[in-house]
Structure 1
Amino acid sequence: MNEEIGASRETQSLANGSLVAEAVAQQLEAMLSAGNYDGVKLLLSPVQPVDIAQAIGTLPMILQALAFRLLNKNEAIEVYEYLDPSVQQNLLDRLRSNEVLDLVEEMSPDDRVRLFDELPAKVVRRLLAELSPEERRVTAQLLGYESETAGRLMTTEFIDLKEFLSVSQALKLVRQRATFSETIYSLYVTDKERHLTGILSLRDLVVADPESLIGEVMTREVVNVRTDTDQEEVARAIQRYDFLALPVVDLEKRLVGIVTVDDVIDVIEQEATRDIYAAGAVQAGDEDDYFQSNLFVVARRRIVWLAVLVLANGLTTQVIAMNDEVLKQVVLLTAFIPLLIGAGGNVGAQSSTVVIRGLSTQRIQRLGLFRAIAKEALAGALLGVSMAVFVVPFAWWQGQGPLVATAVGISLIAITTLAATAGASLPLLFDRMGLDPALMSAPFITTATDVAGVLIYLKTASWLLGRLG
């Protein structure tokens, strides 16, 4: 068994985190099933908390609580914060009430709030009532802010200093409070009414003259966000300024918390997941719980948009039915409909993807909205001309004359130009209306350009038939 533990440690040093967690999980399940609890403790001792959490998450439910109980208290709290919400809830159900209370009591306020967001209201009320008065106050404060805002995302575990403190006094205070703070690399300065007045890094504090006052070495220009700031804006601010943490103030400019970069990474992943789901016309659930959802939930999330798209595609059928006379006269026109609507749909989807991403990163503002639309429209026209160079000769050969080739060529350029323009402008319009631009997803743009493309093609063919026929 000791050889297995040694192999696990060697694996950890050579492999990435996922492989470590997988190897640990396999040995962990075998040891727990055999009752080798001392071996479990030796196995988990050198493993990082995030890898332990992943390994526990892969165990059968009945073994998860057993493995968790074998961790020491400090390690258990850290591991618990890395567990998936479903595993966290399972452990709450299986641990004794006093173990649950100790666990929840010692969690960081922001992590505790995220856990409470996943739990039933009845359980949340019970746990809140059992918390210490201070932790209950902090948790209730964070729960009082709207979801997906800086207030809900922040932690209240930070170090704030006063301007009149000397550097040596501030260092002593940092040492005393470091254990209870989320981060000590950014230190904030407040006045007697807790208004944010300055900031300094731990490095600035360490290298400063011990007799200098904090007010003399701090930076007074502080980038901050309000409690009601959207979490995406918070993420952009931290990314823009390369901060490890960002101070959060209330409406009266009082410092109430900080948002750390690790929480922002979670926000970026969450928002990216939503945008990808929206781009694929799938309703997003709670973050990335899609693969844990049952079959009926999966179908329900997809059926709404699919029903809309089916109804919209009915317009395409109606357009073809209304122009059946021209198709009866030149049946070969029907053969090029899939090519044209496919080209339009792909170009529109490309444009919408580029614009939605530009809105997400805020880079499109540098170019300007109208210039962005014009650029995509010209790109669509150029793409249409490029494809026409190959398609028109083939259509001429198939149609044995200019009618089909001309109709296909004109329509191809018109459709790709229209598709690129729509793909660029519709997300921008939704953004101006305060709606999620990702709702103008590739399937929606494709369906819209299908209808318009078929109409353009058949009307062009009908007009040419009158001139050339």
Structure 2
Amino acid sequence: MKQKGENKFIKWARFLKQQQNKKLLYCLERASPIEVANFLEQQPIESILRILAMLPITRQGELFALFKDSALQIAFYEQLSKGTFAKLFSCMPSDLRVDFYQRLPSKEQTHLLPYLSRKVREDVLMLNSYSPDTAGGIMHTDFATVLNFMNIEEALAKIREDAPTQKMLYYIYVVNEHMKLVGFIPLEQLVLCTPQTKISSILDTNFVYATVDEDQEVVARKIEQYNLAVIPILNQENQIVGIVSYDDAIEIIRAEQVEDMDKFMGIDSEEDDPDYLKISSVQHLKKRVKWAVGVFMSGIVSHYFTHTKFSSQDFIPYLFYVGMIADTGGNVGSQAASVVLQALNRGQVTLSDWIKIIAKELKVSILLASILFFLVYVKIYIMPSEHRTLQMTFIIALSIVLQVICSTIIGASLPLAAKYFNGDPAVAASPAINTIVELVGLLIYYAAIMVISWLYPINQVNTS
């Protein structure tokens, strides 16, 4: 009787587990892939293996590709046999497939290759041969081609053979007998034509393309500029070897903006940095210490200049306004650099427009300086001070005006100068601008005091 009771309990427990699995499978199949991937990344590796095993292999490949944690992907790979993983690997998008393959140690790459199908193996080896920062490194092979001498019926059969995913069927690319791209046909036009219509009669030969060695950011800007869903990537023989989609371009532009912002704020970032909370404090220190030490050293120079030039009794009242002048310059300089950098990244201006850029920033700085000139007078006369004089007020206001104009020109010029010397405009970082304009501001302030005092030699300190 006891054995019979235990068997019933085991059957009941197994039934409950099956019902739970069915409910879980129901939710996983209907939720968006990114939500499922985020959910799985929070689970232990054993649970991930168990849950994914319940799903079709195509869904497994899609979810595995969406994992943001590269260490988790490697750990998952190590838990499976090469044959089992090869099936999942073949279901990943081609560009993400290559990204993961490049992260594998060379020994593991060699072990995995024999388990891959011929097409997947060719795609991996081809895409892996290009630099990750070029169009060849980010393109994928999820596209369909037809020959220019085919008719519609033959073309549709060829498309079924290529079997691109549904979301990549924006355009059908037309090639000649040498596989050189000669044009494209929108999918809806292909479907609406009669079966015997010749491809050459409906071919659009006016197309935008990129080459495999073009920088990925240039490719992303082409997609944005021409409002494309996808752009074909050609090799040196003008043969189509891949495509880059609008989604890829968004990711590139977003990564570029994050990278530029890091540089602008003086942070050395790396492409494969893990999440913020997963980076150790020492790693954060290494990313920030260069600019911090540089700004500190320049601060020593500034303070040395302040102590040597403003140590006289007559200059002591002016010391209270050194910080205001330096901070104002750093603020407007960073604003100018940010605006120019943004315009360069969006393709709104080029180096040939440098005169127009400087002229526009000069106008803005003069208008801003006029407002601050008036506010300096208001500020000094509202704040009670026994050292306040008309001469002192004019010197401070004049220094603010000159500091705003100079800082704006410096902030606008640094990104342009970096671009001219084939550097990254984002290296004109906020700490660099603050450092430069602080030194310039001190020189302007000291020069204004000396010149005005020389022209109008009256007592600068009113002790009454």
User: Is 1:56 matched with 2:40?
Assistant: yes
Measure, in 2, the Cα distance between the counterparts of 1:299 and 1:382.
40
Alignment of 1:22-421 (within 5 A): 36-84=20-68, 85-179=70-164, 183-287=168-272, 289-291=274-276, 292-326=278-312, 328-365=313-350, 368-395=353-380, 398=385, 399-421=387-409
- Per-residue CA deviation, residues 386-442 of structure 1 (Å, 9 max, x unaligned), is 111011243356343123211111110110101110111110110111111111012
1:40 deviation in Å? 2.1
Instruction: Return the alpha-carbon distance in structure 2 between the equivalents of residues 257 and 225 of structure 1.
Output: 10
Alignment of 1:460 onto 2:448: yes
List runs of 5+ in structure 1 lacking aligned partners.
1-31
Instruction: After TM superposition, give the deviation of residue 97 of structure 1 in Å.
Output: 3.2
Any conservation in 2 of the 1:395–1:404 contact (CA below 8 Å)?
Answer: no
Q: Deviations over 1:162-193 (max 9, x none)?
A: 11111232223323433568722211111111
| Cα distance in 2 between the residues matched to 1:183 and 1:48 | 18
Name the amino acid aligned to 1:73. I
Q: Provide the rounded CA distance (Å) in 2 between the counterparts of 1:67 and 1:295.
A: 34
Return closer, same or farther for 1:352/1:445 CA change in 2, 3 Å cut-off: same
How far, CA to CA, are the matches of 1:271 and 1:136 in structure 2?
30
Alignment CA distance shift 1:295-1:118 (3 Å): farther
Deviating more after overlay: 345-354 vs 200-209: 200-209
Higher mean C-alpha displacement, 439-448 vs 412-421? 439-448
Whether contact under 8 Å (1:198, 1:221) holds in the other structure is: yes
Aligned partner of 2:425 in structure 1 is 437
SS of the aligned residue for 1:330 comes to helix
TM-score by length of structure 1 reads: 0.87
Amino acid at match of 1:435: G
One-letter amino acid of the counterpart of residue 299, structure 1 = L
Whole-angstrom distance in 2 between the partners of 1:245 and 1:444: 39
Work out the CA distance in 2 between the residues paired with 1:174 and 1:435.
44
Q: TM-score, normalised by structure 2?
A: 0.88
Could you tell me how far apart the structure 2 residues matched to 1:308 and 1:124 are?
A: 42
The 3 A distance-change label for structure 1 pair 308 and 118 is farther
CA contact (8 A) 2:145 2:158 kept: no
State the identity %.
24
Cα distance, 1:376 vs. partner? 1.0
Aligned equivalents of 1:288, 1:402: Cα separation in 2: 55
Q: Which secondary structure state, in structure 1, belongs to the residue aligned with residue 204 of structure 2?
A: coil
Change (3 A) 1:374 1:129: farther
Structure 2 unaligned segments of length 5 or more: list them: 1-15, 459-464
CA distance, structure 1, for counterparts of residue 442 and residue 231 of structure 2:
52
Q: Which amino acid aligns with 2:53?
A: R
Q: CA RMSD in A?
A: 2.3
Q: Is the 8 A contact 2:361 2:408 kept in 1?
A: yes
Q: Would the aligned equivalents of 1:224 and 1:246 in 2 still touch at CA under 8 Å?
A: yes
